[in-house]
Amino acid sequence: MRSLKDIREHVTTMNRKVLLTGGVLATIGVSALLGGAISEFVISRSEVEQMLSKQISSLEQKLTHQETQYEKDIAELSAANEGVQATYFELNDEIEMLDEKVTDQRFLLSHAALQIIKAKGEQPEYDWDRFLRRTPEARKYFPYLLDAVEKYKDTWPVDPMFALAILKQESRFGRHIVSKAGALGDAQFIESTWNYVSRARAREPYTWKSGRRQYSIARDLRSDARVARDAFLGRMLRRVDLTSSSHEVKEQLMSNFNSNAWRLESHYRLLADAEDRVARGDEAFEIYKQEIKQAMSRVPEIEREARARQRAEDEMIYLSGVRPLKTDDEKKLEVDLAVNHHIMQIDPRLSPMLFTDALVKHLAELFLHFNGDERFVASRYNASMEALRRSVRSVGGVGIPLLDETQNYVNMVYVYRAMFAYDAGVTDKTFGMTCCSRYAER
């Protein structure tokens, strides 16, 4: 079957032949007049045009038929494609629903396993190799996290998965390490809390402290603006008799507006000043964030330099034989010490070696203070103690704070902890469900 393009080219060629034949016939006619009686050999032009016209008409009919067939085929394909897309979206929705159900089942199973272990007064056992295969971004916290758990177990035996859940919720394992609230690092310690739990002092740049202060000033200005607005609205109907005539009511309202217009002006002026303060704070925050990013960008280079020194040292030790070569763990510790020394010059809250120790120490003290209540520990890590007290008083002294942010924070910590525990095989050890292990390994 010819394509539409071939048929159109053929029609164009036939049209050209019509014009060419007309020119040839005219030449033959002139030759007949000049040459004499040869007119019986000449076909009239009208006959040729009629013949070619029939061929063109036939080709145009075929072209029209083929175009109609093509349009019909395209419509059928479009309908079939829409059906396939609808089926795809339906299947995709079903897959998402099944994924949600599987995730919910994993969470419930793992959470139940942790609660059973807690009720028995035992500590959960985790397969750390399996966990790190499934969560490689957590490798930078090891072995420091486990060492810190062992170090502060006399204060309170902190579950390492609970600490990892805090790190995940606070910074997504180091993806967001700088906060406008003044928190820094994977564990998001503010300066005052860090200096309380760690011996390595944190000192923020004065420019960032001054910039962060602009946010609190803006918050106070917005509060004053709301007071001015409420005062204006409250005085608009003062001494207005709504039973009076519309003209008198209008005059009273205009009088109140004129006498209180300064309050409305103050409201908008305070809001404008607050926006200006926020802009200053944002500018200082961007500068501080870029300084941290630039300083941390040297970490890979420092690691390469430390490993290069180790290779040169190994070569000298091998050639001289003065002592045995260092183990892989000793080499890793040397590299980590070099990196952490550089990070401490920026801020100790960025050092995995230091913030994991401070995190576990802080959690152990919070667990001791709240007698092991994980809900209050997670709430206190997210909110200040004063905010916690106010919120707890608002619910009669029971339950976790009513702050929406804190409620969501606590829920996510529970979810992350349960899912991490599932990846570490806690359900396999508790319920003997080896199928979960095989599925996780796949």
Query: Percent of the chain at pLDDT above 90?
Result: 53
Gap between the Cα atoms of 249 and 243, Å rounded: 8
The structure tokens 């420092």 sit at 302
Which tens digit of pLDDT belongs to each residue from 344-389?
A: 999 999 999 999 999 999 999 999 999 999 988 998 999 887 777 7
Per-residue pLDDT for 278 more than 90? yes
**Average of per-residue pLDDT values in the chain:** 84
Which tens digit of pLDDT belongs to each residue from 82-122?
A: 878 878 877 877 787 777 778 888 888 999 999 999 888 88
Which helix (H) or strand (E) segment holds residue 217: the answer is: helix 206-236
Contacts of 427 (CB under 8 A, 6+ apart): 109, 110, 113, 421, 433, 436
Query: Percent of the chain at pLDDT above 70?
Result: 85
Closest to 205 (Cα-Cα) out of 76, 322, 295, 75: 295
- The DSSP-derived string for 102-116 is HHHHHHHHHHHHHHH
The pLDDT of 286-307, averaged and rounded, is 94
Say if residues 133 and 441 touch (Cβ distance below 8 Å).
no
- Best-predicted range by mean pLDDT among 22-26, 44-48, 93-97, 257-261? 257-261
Which tens digit of pLDDT belongs to each residue from 115-159?
A: 999 888 888 999 999 999 999 999 999 999 999 999 999 999 999
pLDDT at 16: 58
Residues comprising the chain, all counted: 442
Q: With bands split at pLDDT 50, 70 and 90, how would you rate the model's confidence at 330?
A: very high
End-to-end CA distance of the chain: 52
The pLDDT of 288-312, averaged and rounded, is 94
The structure tokens 């045009």 sit at 49
Amino acid at 122: E
Q: With bands split at pLDDT 50, 70 and 90, how would you rate the model's confidence at 441?
A: very low
Q: Reduce the DSSP state of residue 36 to 3 states and report it.
A: coil
Distance set, CA 31 to CA 39, 47, 439 (Å): 9, 19, 95
Which tens digit of pLDDT belongs to each residue from 313-325?
A: 999 998 998 889 9
Per-residue pLDDT for 333 more than 80? yes
Contacts of 332 (CB under 8 A, 6+ apart): none
pLDDT at 51: 79
| Alpha-helical regions (H) of 120-159 | 128-134, 144-151
Contacts of 78 (CB under 8 A, 6+ apart): none
pLDDT at 24: 43
The structure tokens 């469900």 sit at 433
